[in-house]
Amino acid sequence: MTFAIIPAAGHSTRMGRAKLSLPLGDRTVLEHVVTALRDGGVDRILVVIGQHVPELVRLAESAGAEVCLLSESTPDMRTTVERGLRWFEDRYHPRPNDWWVLAPGDHPGFGANVVRQLLTAAGRSDRSIVVPVHAGRRGHPTVIGWKHVQGIRALPTGEGINRYLRAQETETLQLEVTEAGVLLDLDTPEDLDRIANQFDQG
């Protein structure tokens, strides 16, 4: 089984409004991410939603994702992701050789083809983490073996998931992809304009 977690509990401070519900082409930002994961072959997709953005529940479900609506605020993305991991464990009991995809909701630039490439590479490799790389830079989403969940939970307070992943170089396959969208991060109105232009050109 392949699972995906989309953390959607941030406060969009730099954007000034809830960025995952913003329109991007014919869909919202969140719907782009869910659709890419679904069409790319992920079996179960979960959006972990903060209580301050309940409007994302309808968007997530209509796009084909399941929802974990948090009852309280989380201090960081790692905590949000850990809530999602526990949600999957309680319902689907993933095995150590299953995979999960970390797909931040504010990275809507990757498409289903990238997801397929990552999952295919994961299935063929002896590595347990697969990261897309474009022009020498690591991007999103990241495919991670379920066996790493315990290691992430064991991180000291205040350390993020990226810190854990960076320490797993011997377990990591960096997969070169042609899509520059794996690098696009949506934080400001200017970012939204830049990503929208990419979709228009595509």
CATH of the domain at 35: 3.90.550.10
Lowest mean pLDDT among 16-30, 94-108, 126-140: 16-30
Assess if residue 199 is contained within a domain.
no
Q: Which two tokens stand for residue 182?
A: 């794996």
Cis, peptide link before residue 141, omega less than 30° from 0: yes
- What's the confidence (pLDDT) of residue 198? 67
Region 34-39: what's the mean pLDDT?
98
Q: Above 80 in pLDDT, residue 117? A: yes
Region 5-25: what's the mean pLDDT?
77
Angle ∠(43,92,165) on CA atoms, nearest 5: 70
For residue 133, the tally of other CB atoms under 10 A from its CB is 15
d(CA 62, CA 80): 22
- What's the confidence (pLDDT) of residue 196? 73
Note down the domain range covering 71.
2-193
Region 45-50: what's the mean pLDDT?
97
Angle between the 29-39 and 112-124 helix axes, to the nearest 10 degrees? Answer: 40
Q: Tell me if 34 sits within 8 A of 65, measured CB to CB.
A: yes
Binned at pLDDT 50, 70 and 90, residue 150 comes out as very high
Q: Above 60 in pLDDT, residue 106? A: yes
Assess if residue 14 is contained within a domain.
yes
Assess if residue 41 is contained within a domain.
yes
**Would the pTM of this model clear 0.75, i.e. be above it?**
yes
> Which residue, chain included where needed, has tokens 């990241």?
142
Q: Tell me if 162 sits within 8 A of 7, measured CB to CB.
A: no
- What's the confidence (pLDDT) of residue 166? 93
Number of domains in the chain: 1
* Mean of per-residue pLDDT scores for the chain: 92
Assess if residue 173 is contained within a domain.
yes
Binned at pLDDT 50, 70 and 90, residue 199 comes out as low
Assess if residue 16 is contained within a domain.
yes
Binned at pLDDT 50, 70 and 90, residue 201 comes out as low
Region 15-23: what's the mean pLDDT?
76
Per-residue burial over 106-116, b if 16 or more Cβ lie within 10 Å, else e, is bbbbbbeebbe
Lowest mean pLDDT among 13-22, 25-34, 133-142: 13-22
